[in-house]
């Protein structure tokens, strides 16, 4: 007959009738012997010190000590009875206790195995969740990259807003007739059709002598096609084109974004900026006409070739229903022209204010 449980009294080397003070003294003596700091080479030192602390705490707890004493008395009585048994009965008791110990051990082992299996399952679940999150993040990243690429391609393919207005500056002593929108439209008609109603002319007298007649003239001329505006800018200050002494450029000195877009699409050469005296303008090979093309609006030769695929800003669409005696298209066009004219007037006034 055997019992694997540790007897706290035996561990502290005290008797069942020992007082609390005797238990404390025994604990101090035993702890000095089994303390891990004094037994660094003993791997079981920490375990023995822990068991000693548990035994000490149990014996100083009155209720737990009473329960322990009752258990020890039962155990002692059982041992006394065991001594009176004959050999056969002792064998039966030993076998029974052995089976009980084996059952308890198998139960503990099963619980440990279940706990280990549960931990492994949770670990696999955590790994699966981590992999799913990584795949989802990767898929979202690829989707965002694809969306960004599609957006960039769409922005690259979509032509920017057309800007066909040029800024003209000249001296009135050389060109005294250029005081009205009609005169300017007639001068630039060789390059293409202009929106006469939206032309803004400014004849501002000198700032220091406002009573004197103006010396310079400034105008904003919107063309109906970007190619015609481009040709006019290229012909700036060219006498053979009828613009001697007349400076023509883009508003703000910045060319329209449509030109850069055309270069990226391969329709314009890299030097065709509209600011040089000899621009290099290219068409795609399948749509390349002769360098000198006939302008349909004026019947004269255009200054330079330009992609024919550009939209006509003022081309008339199909007929629309009329509203109040005035068709919807004309009404919208009138409002657009008035808004554009107001905007151009503000820009030319701001530009002159900055120059003066």
Inter-helix orientation angle 45-59/20-34, to 10°: 170
- Quote the pLDDT of residue 19: 92
Work out the burial of residue 51: count CB atoms within 10 Å of its CB; fewer than 13 is exposed, 13-18 middle, 19 or more buried: middle
pLDDT category of residue 136 using cuts at 50, 70 and 90: very high
Highest mean pLDDT among 26-40, 74-88, 339-353: 26-40
Q: Do 220 and 233 contact (CB within 8 A), yes or no? A: no
pLDDT band at 283 (very low <50, low <70, confident <90, very high): very low
Q: What pLDDT sits at residue 257? A: 74
When pLDDT is cut at 50, 70 and 90, the band that residue 332 belongs to is low
Per-residue pLDDT at 305 exceeds 70: no
- 161: pLDDT strictly greater than 70: no
Work out the average pLDDT over 226-232.
84
Q: Is the pLDDT of residue 38 over 80?
A: yes
With a cut of 80, say whether residue 327 has pLDDT above it. Answer: no
Query: In the predicted model, is pLDDT for residue 313 greater than 60?
Result: no
Decide: 271 and 304 in contact? Cβ < 8 Å. no
pLDDT band (50, 70, 90) for residue 157? low
Task: Indicate if the alpha-carbon torsion angle 313, 315, 317, 323 is positive or negative.
Answer: positive
Q: Where are the domains of the chain?
A: 8-84, 165-315
Q: Which band of pLDDT confidence, cut at 50, 70 and 90, is reported for residue 309?
A: very low
Of 159-173, 225-239, 247-261, 269-283, give the lowest mean pLDDT range.
Answer: 269-283
At residue 156, does pLDDT exceed 80? no
Token readout for 21 is: 């003070």
144: enclosing H helix or E strand: helix 87-157
The Cα–Cα gap between 102 and 113 comes to: 16
| Exposure string over 178-200, b if 16+ CB within 10 A, otherwise e | beebebbbebbbbbbbbbbebbb
Q: What is the mean pLDDT of the chain?
A: 77
- Across residues 201-225, what is the average pLDDT? 81
Please give the pLDDT value at position 287.
38
pLDDT of the residue at 280:
37
Domain 8-84: what homologous superfamily?
DnaJ domain (1.10.287.110)
pLDDT band at 60 (very low <50, low <70, confident <90, very high): very high
pLDDT score recorded for residue 63: 94
| Sign of the torsion angle spanned by Cα atoms 332, 321, 297, 266 | positive
């Amino acid at each position: 007959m055997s019992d694997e449980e540790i007897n706290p009294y035996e561990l502290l080397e005290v008797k069942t009738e020992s007082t609390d003070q005797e238990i404390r003294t025994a604990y101090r003596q035993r702890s000095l012997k089994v303390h891990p700091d004094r037994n660094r080479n003993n791997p079981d030192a920490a375990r023995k010190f822990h068991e000693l602390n548990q035994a000490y705490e149990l014996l100083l707890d009155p209720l737990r000590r009473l329960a322990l004493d009752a258990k020890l008395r039962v155990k002692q009585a059982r041992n006394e009875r065991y001594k009176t048994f004959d050999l056969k009965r002792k064998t039966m008791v030993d076998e029974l206790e052995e089976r009980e110990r084996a059952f308890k051990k198998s139960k503990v082992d099963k619980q440990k195995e279940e706990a280990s299996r549960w931990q492994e399952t949770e670990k696999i679940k955590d790994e699966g969740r981590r992999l799913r999150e990584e795949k989802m993040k990767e898929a979202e990243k690829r989707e965002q990259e694809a969306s960004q690429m599609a957006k960039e391609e769409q922005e690259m393919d979509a032509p920017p807003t057309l800007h066909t207005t040029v800024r003209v500056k000249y001296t009135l002593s050389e060109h005294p007739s250029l005081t009205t929108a009609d005169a300017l439209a007639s001068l630039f008609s060789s390059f293409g059709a202009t929106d006469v109603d939206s032309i803004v002319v400014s004849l501002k007298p000198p700032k220091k002598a406002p009573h004197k007649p103006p010396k310079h003239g400034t105008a904003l001329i919107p063309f109906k096609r970007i190619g015609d505006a481009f040709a006019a800018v290229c012909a700036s200050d060219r006498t053979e084109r009828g613009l001697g002494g007349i400076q023509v450029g883009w508003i703000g000195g910045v060319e329209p974004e449509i030109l850069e877009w055309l270069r990226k699409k391969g329709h314009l050469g890299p030097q065709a900026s509209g600011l040089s005296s000899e621009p290099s303008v290219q068409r795609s090979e399948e749509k390349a006409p002769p360098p000198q093309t006939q302008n349909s609006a004026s019947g004269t030769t255009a200054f330079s070739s330009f992609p024919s695929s550009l939209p006509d800003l003022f081309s008339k669409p199909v007929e629309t229903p009329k509203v109040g005696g005035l068709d919807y298209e004309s009404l919208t066009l009138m409002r657009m022209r008035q808004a554009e004219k107001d905007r151009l007037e503000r820009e030319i006034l701001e530009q002159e204010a900055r120059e003066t």
